[in-house]
Structure 1
Amino acid sequence: MVSIPRLDAHMLKFSQVCVLVLTALSFLFNAPILVLITGLALALSALVPAASPFRFIYRQILVRAGWLKPRIVEDDPAPHRFAQGIGATFLLVASIVFFLFHAATLGWILTILVFILAAINVFVGFCAGCFVYYYLGRWGLLPRVRYEGGFHWRGI
């Protein structure tokens, strides 16, 4: 019997909201250090999901206080980690551009792109990074999704 992977859809949504808020604040307050912090948090979330700062805040504060409840769904976490990795890459490259090359315009363009994609995910339910992952899997460039339940537009 094949086990179907599961994940907490509310935790994923919370993570996206955190990215959305942190990138917005970084732009509004002209604080490139927030871009770096957000990029590092996303990188940690993608590489070591159990050590994700977003997951920690979600589980230890929001769930324990009863403000949010887990919503476990059948879905492969790999596309979501891939999307987090892409977001982390863009934000870390933006940080390098900010701090090493002093090219603020290019850094803000990369940051705003992550903001827009996070907003689309939060408000429309479309994960662009997941979409790319699925197609790279179809073309044999990444592992195919273990759960072939289809692409989730609103479920995450």
Structure 2
Amino acid sequence: MLSIPRVDAHMLKFSQSCVLVLVGLSFLLNLPILVLITGLALALSAIFPAASPFKFVYRQVIVRAGWLKPRLVEDDPAPHRFAQGVGATFLLAASILFFLTSATLAGWILTIIVFVLAAINVFVGFCAGCLVYYYLGRWGLMPRVRYDGGFRWRGV
């Protein structure tokens, strides 16, 4: 029997909210180290989802305290991991610009791009990284998934 992949929609929203807060604080407080920490957390989440720091805090603090309950929905986790990887790439590139060059403006531009895309995901429910993943799938560069007609996407 074919297993339908599921994701915890609340965990995804929590993760994006963490990115939004950390990246926003890094900009407001001029703390590039928070950009690096967030980029590393996103990279770990994309490469080893079970070791995600956001998932750990979500499960061990947020769910245990009863503030949120898992909401499993049919969805392919791969596009979300891809989006995390893209965000990690932008933030780690920004960190290189902050710490190894004098191109801090370019670093903040990359950081603000991640902030804006995370905000759109949190407040509108649209994942730009997921959209890129789906188009790459259409062009044969990623595993193909199908679109279900709304802002949600599902794997085949």
| Alignment TM class, shorter chain as reference | over 0.9
Work out whether residues 75 and 149 of structure 1, in 8 Å CA contact, stay in contact via their aligned partners in 2: no
Q: In the aligned structure 2, how far is the partner of 1:134 from the partner of 1:151?
A: 13
Q: In the aligned structure 1, how far is the partner of 2:150 from the partner of 2:105?
A: 34
Q: In the aligned structure 1, how far is the partner of 2:3 from the partner of 2:102?
A: 49
What's the secondary structure of 2:88's corresponding residue?
helix
Q: In the aligned structure 2, how far is the partner of 1:49 from the partner of 1:70?
A: 16
Q: Does 1:11 align with 2:11?
A: yes
**Structural mapping, 1:1-156, within 5 Å:** 1-145=1-145, 148=146, 150=148, 152-153=150-151
User: Which digits, 9 at most, give the CA deviation of each residue in 1:107-130, with x for residues without a partner?
Assistant: 000000000000000001100000
TM-score by length of 1: 0.95
Higher relative contact order (CA 8 A, sep 6+): 1
What's the secondary structure of 1:18's corresponding residue?
helix
User: Which digits, 9 at most, give the CA deviation of each residue in 1:41-68, with x for residues without a partner?
Assistant: 0000000000000000000000001001
What is the identity, as a one-letter code, of the residue corresponding to 1:153? F
User: Which digits, 9 at most, give the CA deviation of each residue in 1:56-99, with x for residues without a partner?
Assistant: 00000000010010000000000000000000000000000000
What's the secondary structure of 1:62's corresponding residue?
helix
Deviation at 1:37, TM superposition (A): 0.1
Deviation at 1:149, TM superposition (A): 5.5
Query: Aligned-pair RMSD on alpha carbons?
Result: 1.3
Deviation at 1:144, TM superposition (A): 1.1
What is the identity, as a one-letter code, of the residue corresponding to 2:125? G
What is the identity, as a one-letter code, of the residue corresponding to 1:53? P
Work out whether residues 124 and 154 of structure 1, in 8 Å CA contact, stay in contact via their aligned partners in 2: no
Deviation at 1:151, TM superposition (A): 5.8
**Percent identity over the alignment?**
78
> May I ask how many residue pairs the two structures share in their alignment?
153
TM-score by length of 2: 0.95
What's the secondary structure of 1:66's corresponding residue?
coil
